[in-house]
């Protein structure tokens, strides 16, 4: 007799057989799906590998095209494929960051534009009467008490912005540099043009560092102003610079002149007009090697003045020896020694004394015989730089300046000054630096008035 269907389905024998068959069917299906999935994944990986190889070949081809453009200065491919590295411009070490180059290729042009700069904050505390609030300028220390009111200052004056360009031409690479900072000696942010410069091949014109100075010898300090004896000037000029050997380079410049007359005791600055009939001329030679480099520079100037009844001129000249000596991979010495007659306008302290409105400058003055004479100036500095590690460095040094005053100069005319600093700088990232610096300076006048100032400065800078 046939069993009812419900009885058959509920029997143990039927349930076991059915379950086994069903399990085998499901397992077979899963294995088929798995095999198909595995095969599909292998095909996808193989396809991606082939696509990656094709992309690598395309990138290599474009890199080869870009290298040809940079080497020959000829655009053999579209602007989107062109890669040009703009030569690095010289600047003081504290403003030199390990930041990546950022360039924009201008459409329908062979010109590459580079934009950069920094945001910088100085926090300053003074113990003395330094009237240059944002820069440690020893000739700005006042001899009188209560000349300044606040001992502390926050300044963003070392912030700057630059635009640089590179254009290949048949005469060589044409480069331009337009740059300004925000420095104001009272700590206020103000636009201050620093560079407006162009070069093509060995020729250059515009405003930039004087040929008589050496910006590469500027020590790695946080202070904006720099050593009191530092030859430092940016001015309009025409320049020719060329290599004479693998390690030597010579440079000639014709630069804007600005005679700075020292007013005699019995007169006021309004009684005299400076004469600038001829430009300043400079010539320099740079020798570099494994030891570092040494630069020697000379300047020749015509200095003069006139009044309602008198006119006189004289010759000014100067010699500046500077450089950097590499001691080890982590140690170096930077130095400068300058001497001359009538070069006061080129030197940090003598160019801008706090009392210059009263005493005039220190380029030239009237001697005991009533004749115009260029005033002798001598100064020098030496700084030791130590790189403790990739993230820490220090610089310590001393600078001295002396002026051989004329007997007719006023009592508050600067006679000599000294400057010294020591710092510790931290580099937490490639585009950030921060540090603290101790600064001390003193100044003495022709009549032996003396004043000094101690300053603590903490700074932080961000490169963009």
pLDDT given for residue 45 in this prediction? 61
Name residue 309's beta-bridge partners. none
Q: What is the CA radius of gyration of the chain?
A: 35
User: pLDDT tens digits for the chain (464 residues)?
Assistant: 434 434 333 444 444 444 444 444 444 444 444 444 444 555 566 566 666 655 655 555 455 455 444 444 444 434 444 445 566 677 788 787 776 667 787 788 889 999 999 999 999 999 999 999 999 999 999 999 999 988 999 999 999 999 999 999 999 899 999 999 999 999 999 999 999 999 999 999 999 999 999 999 999 999 999 999 999 999 999 999 999 999 999 999 999 999 889 999 988 888 889 988 999 999 999 999 999 999 999 999 999 999 988 899 999 999 999 999 999 999 999 999 999 999 999 999 999 999 998 998 899 999 989 999 999 999 999 999 999 999 999 999 999 999 999 999 999 999 999 999 999 999 999 899 999 999 999 999 999 999 999 999 999 999 98
Strand ranges inside 225-279, DSSP E: 234-243, 248-255, 273-275
- Classified by CATH at the fold level, domain 102-463 comes out as Porin (2.40.160)
DSSP 83: -
Distance CA 318, CA 364 (A): 13
DSSP 264-326: BTT--GGG-EEE--S-EEEEEEEEEETTEEEEEEEEEEEEEEE-SS-EEEEEEEEEEEEEEEE
- Domain range list for the chain: 102-463
Distance CA 213, CA 303 (A): 19
pLDDT given for residue 372 in this prediction? 95
Instruction: Give the CA count within 13 Å in the CB-facing half-sphere of 282.
Output: 31
């Amino acid at each position: 007799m046939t069993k009812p269907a419900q009885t058959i389905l509920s029997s143990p024998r039927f349930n076991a057989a059915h379950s086994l068959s069903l399990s085998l069917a499901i397992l077979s299906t899963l294995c088929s799906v798995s095999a198909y999935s595995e095969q599909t994944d292998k095909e996808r990986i193989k396809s991606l590998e082939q696509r990656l190889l094709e992309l690598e070949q395309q990138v290599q081809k474009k890199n080869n095209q870009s290298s040809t453009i940079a080497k020959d200065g000829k655009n053999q491919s579209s602007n989107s494929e062109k890669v040009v590295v703009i030569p690095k411009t010289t600047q003081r070490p504290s403003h030199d960051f390990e930041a990546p180059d950022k360039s924009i290729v201008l459409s329908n042009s062979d010109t590459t534009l580079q934009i950069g700069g920094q945001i910088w904050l100085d926090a300053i505390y003074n113990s003395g009467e330094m009237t240059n609030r944002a820069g440690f300028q020893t000739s700005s220390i006042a001899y009188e008490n209560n000349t300044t009111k606040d001992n502390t200052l926050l300044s963003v004056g070392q912030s700057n912005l630059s635009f640089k360009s590179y254009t290949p031409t048949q005469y060589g690479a044409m480069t331009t540099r337009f740059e300004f900072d925000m420095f104001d000696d009272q700590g206020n942010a103000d636009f201050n043009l620093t560079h407006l410069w162009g070069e093509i091949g060995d020729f250059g014109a515009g405003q930039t560092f004087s040929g008589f100075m050496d910006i590469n010898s500027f020590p790695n300090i946080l202070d904006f102003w720099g050593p009191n004896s530092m030859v430092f000037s940016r001015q309009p000029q025409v320049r020719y610079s060329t290599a004479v050997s693998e390690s030597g380079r010579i440079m000639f410049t014709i630069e804007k002149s600005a005679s700075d007359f020292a007013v005699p005791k019995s007169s006021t600055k309004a009684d005299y007009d400076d004469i600038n009939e001829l430009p300043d001329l400079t010539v320099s030679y740079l020798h570099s090697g494994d030891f570092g480099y040494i630069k020697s520079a000379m300047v020749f100037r015509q200095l003069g003045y006139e009044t309602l009844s008198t006119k006189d001129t004289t010759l000014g000249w100067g010699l500046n020896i500077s450089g950097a000596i590499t001691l080890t991979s982590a140690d170096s010495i930077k130095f400068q020694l300058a001497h001359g007659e009538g070069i006061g306008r080129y030197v940090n302290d003598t160019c801008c004394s706090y009392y210059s409105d009263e005493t005039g400058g220190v380029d030239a003055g009237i001697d005991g015989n009533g004749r115009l004479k260029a005033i002798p100036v001598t100064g020098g500095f030496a700084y030791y730089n130590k790189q403790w590690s990739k993230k820490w460095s220090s610089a310590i040094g001393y600078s001295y300046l002396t002026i051989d005053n004329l007997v007719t100069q006023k009592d508050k005319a600067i006679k000599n000054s000294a400057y010294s600093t020591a710092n510790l700088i931290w580099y937490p990232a490639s585009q950030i630096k921060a540090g603290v610096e101790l600064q001390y300076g003193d100044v003495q006048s022709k009549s032996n008035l003396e004043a000094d100032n101690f300053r603590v400065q903490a700074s932080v800078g961000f490169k963009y």
